[in-house]
Structure 1
Amino acid sequence: MLNAETVGAAIRQVREKKGISQEVVSSFAGIGRTHLSAIERGQRKPTLETFFRLSEALGMAASDLMREIEKEIQKENDKQEEK
C-alpha cells in the first residue's frame, strides 16, 4: 500500500543519505521548504510533477527514487507480516 508516510520517509532518507538540507532540495525542486517538510512527515503526497522535481533535486532519476519508495513499502509489509 502506498501511503504518504512511506513516500515521505523514503524521500527523507535519500535526502539525508546525500547530506542535503531541506532548504537546498526544496529550492532546486521549486517548492517551499514547508511543503517538502510536510511531504517528508507524511502529511502531504507529492504530485507527479513534484515527485519528478524532487528526484531531479536529489540528483537521481525518478525511477530510482521510486525504487527507494518500493524498498520502504517492502519494509512496512515485512513489519506487518511479523505481527
Structure 2
Amino acid sequence: MSAPALDARAVGEAISRLRRQKGLSQEILSGLSDIGRTHLSAIERGERKPTLETFYRICCALDIRMSDAMREIEEML
C-alpha cells in the first residue's frame, strides 16, 4: 500500500488562483518570491511541486499564510 501523494495540479491551480486574485502576473510573483518565472509557470501547470521553502516564499509574496494556501489546495482535492 502506497502513501497518498499531494496532487501537483491542485497545488498549481491554487497558487495560480491566489496570484490572480492579488492581481499579480507570474513575472511579478516570481520576482517577489525569488524564483524563476519558468519554475513558477511549471508549478502552476502542475508539472512541478514546490519545495516547502518555495511554497513559503510564494505565500509570503502573496501576503497569505501557508495554512490559508493549504486550505485552498485541500478544497480542490
TM, length-normalised to structure 1: 0.84
CA distance in 2, matches of 1:71, 1:11: 13
Once the 2 structures are TM-superposed, how far is the Cα of residue 23 of structure 1 from its aligned partner? 0.8
**Aligned counterpart, 1:57:** 61
**Aligned counterpart, 1:17:** 21
Residues 32-80 of structure 1: per-residue CA shift (max 9 Å, x gap): 000000000000000000000000011101111111111111xxxxxxx
Q: Which residue of 20, 32, 38 maps to 1:34?
A: 38
Q: Structure 2 unaligned runs (5+)? A: none
Q: Structure 1 unaligned runs (5+)? A: 74-83
Larger Rg: 1
- Which SS does the other structure have where 2:63 is aligned? coil
**Hey, which bits of structure 1, 4+ residues long, moved more than 2 A?**
none
Query: Could you say what the CA RMSD is over the residues aligned between the two structures, in angstroms?
Result: 0.9
CA distance in 2, matches of 1:54, 1:72: 19
AA aligned to 1:53 is R
Percentage of identical aligned residues: 59
Once the 2 structures are TM-superposed, how far is the Cα of residue 18 of structure 1 from its aligned partner? 1.4
- Which SS does the other structure have where 2:32 is aligned? helix
Indicate whether 1:48 and 2:52 are aligned. yes
Q: Tell me which protein shows more helix as a share of its residues.
A: 1
Once the 2 structures are TM-superposed, how far is the Cα of residue 17 of structure 1 from its aligned partner? 1.3
